[in-house]
Amino acid sequence: MLRHNGGMSERIIPLVDLRNSLPLPPPSAPLAWSSSLQDVRGRPLHDLRISVTDRCNFRCSYCMPKEVFHKDYPYLPHSDLLTFEEITRTAQAFVALGVRKIRLTGGEPLLRKNIEVLIAQLAALRTPEGLPLDITLTTNGSLLARKAQALKDAGLQRVTVSLDGLDDAIFRQMNDVDFPVADVLAGIDAAQAAGLSSIKVNMVVKRGTNDHEILPMARHFKGSGVTLRFIEYMDVGATNGWRMDEVLPSAQVIERLQAELPLVALRASAPGETAQRWGYADAQGLFDPSQGEIGVISSVTQAFCGDCNRARLSTEGQLYLCLFASQGYDLRSLIRGSLSDEALRQQIAAIWQGRSDRYSELRSLMPPDSEQAPARKRVEMSYIGG
């Protein structure tokens, strides 16, 4: 929708509509711990992604374009955000139902004040078997250099940094706030120095914009101990003007890399893993661990709905069962009510057991968005994280 203001066209996205909640299903029967909680398609619950803020200091066109998320954009008031204690209580309920990995996202999660306190609370949680959780965080890297050590000390184990190119002009163009690439690279160095393990760098590849950065990125991170992953530009939300002709299929990314840097396919490291893994090959054509690996996330050309085991909790407590969902379930009202911990677990279990989402598998059957068929309502990535 366009609103004209003094000759200027301002794009208005009705996000309030997207925040309306789905009706809660009847709670499940009382549950003992079981690793067999599954959705309608037999998918277990393993991974919880928690957005801690809807704010970001970048304005990447594929996520938070400046013409939509401008200086007057109505972000959520602080009172609407889940507190750290509410997040931790909810996370504990998910852990009792099978979650073993928690990823903090945003927006930009490092903008949330005292995020280290939340990380410490989550790091103290234990599975029913008494094991610690895998606690990780995704960031644009802008604040990582100054926060890396504190994050590690609080209990963060891993970090993923979004970086869409090494060419400073291209990177500044894509983040649209003139932020220099050198500062993100310094953040990655600081994360390594702090002892954060399994550092990953995610590059969203947009054909015609930054696809010429594929090989320079691979050369830079090869042998560095950092895993580089290439993500197909995808149709998350309704604000990024997504077009299929701007998608560079992962198969073509691999072709470009193979022309200079021989690769060998690797097995998935865990069930439900989104990235296809490729290792750098030695002279004999075998995987050389010292040179590391890359990954490709084919979110458009190769749907991976079949084993998706992720749930997403928005910063205001809406539970989404798919990255491409249009509505979530309001857990905040339950968390702030008089519901017991067991009743909260029963409600979450019932929601997961009714899950049938498979947007990516159905995408090819849908008509393309156009002026005649407006973009389908989907929650914004900046609201629930990637």
What mean pLDDT is predicted for residues 211-225? 97
Q: At 18, is the pLDDT very low, low, confident or very high (cuts 50, 70, 90)?
A: very low
Q: Which domains does the chain have, with CATH numbers?
A: 50-384 (3.20.20.70)
* CB burial of residue 364 (10 Å; 0-12, 13-18, 19+): exposed
Dihedral angle, C-alpha 170, 257, 187, 54, nearest 10 °:
70
Sign for the CA dihedral angle at 226, 152, 181, 61 comes to positive
User: Can you tell me the distance from the alpha carbon of 350 to that of 198, in angstroms, rounded to the nearest whole number?
Assistant: 34
Q: Which of 35-44, 77-86, 160-169 has the lowest mean pLDDT?
A: 35-44
Q: What is the DSSP string of 89-101?
A: HHHHHHHHTT--E
Max mean pLDDT among 31-45, 61-75, 357-371 falls in 61-75
pLDDT in tens, 164-182: 999 999 999 999 999 999 9
Q: At 98, is the pLDDT very low, low, confident or very high (cuts 50, 70, 90)?
A: very high
Whether the predicted pLDDT of 373 surpasses 90: no
What mean pLDDT is predicted for residues 89-95? 98
State residue 216's pLDDT score.
Answer: 98
pLDDT in tens, 193-204: 999 989 999 999
pTM of whole model > 0.75?
yes
Judge contact between 320 and 21, C-beta under 8 A. no
User: Can you tell me the distance from the alpha carbon of 310 to that of 286, in angstroms, rounded to the nearest whole number?
Assistant: 33
Mean pLDDT over the full length of the chain? 87
Q: What is the DSSP string of 24-64?
A: PPPPPPP----TT-B-TTSPBP-EEEEE--S--S---TTTS
State residue 228's pLDDT score.
Answer: 98
Whether the predicted pLDDT of 279 surpasses 80: yes
What mean pLDDT is predicted for residues 106-128? 97
Helix (H, G, I), strand (E, B) or coil at 334: helix
Per-residue tokens: 217: 């990125």
Residue, of 18 and 33, whose pLDDT is higher: 33
User: Can you tell me the distance from the alpha carbon of 44 to that of 308, in angstroms, rounded to the nearest whole number?
Assistant: 8
Cβ neighbours, 10 Å, residue 83: 13
Whether the predicted pLDDT of 372 surpasses 50: no
What mean pLDDT is predicted for residues 25-45? 80
User: Can you tell me the distance from the alpha carbon of 268 to that of 26, in angstroms, rounded to the nearest whole number?
Assistant: 36
Q: Which of 3-17, 63-77, 251-265, 318-332 has the lowest mean pLDDT?
A: 3-17
Bridge-based pairing state of the strands 227-232 and 293-297: parallel
Whether the predicted pLDDT of 205 surpasses 70: yes
Percent of the chain whose predicted confidence (pLDDT) is above 90: 69
Residue, of 61 and 384, whose pLDDT is higher: 61
State residue 265's pLDDT score.
Answer: 96
Whether the predicted pLDDT of 371 surpasses 70: no
Q: At 13, is the pLDDT very low, low, confident or very high (cuts 50, 70, 90)?
A: very low
Residue, of 197 and 241, whose pLDDT is higher: 197
Per-residue tokens: 245: 């002709």
Which residues in 217-243 are b (16+ Cβ under 10 Å) and which e? bbebbbeeebbbbbbbbbbbbbbbebe
What mean pLDDT is predicted for residues 94-108? 96
The beta-strand segments (E) located in the chain are 2-5, 8-11, 21-22, 47-51, 101-105, 134-139, 158-162, 197-205, 227-232, 263-265, 276-280, 293-297, 310-313, 318-320, 328-330
Q: Output DSSP code: residue 377.
A: P
Whether the predicted pLDDT of 16 surpasses 50: no
**Count of alpha carbons within 13 angstroms of residue 97, beta-carbon side:** 32
Whether the predicted pLDDT of 378 surpasses 60: no
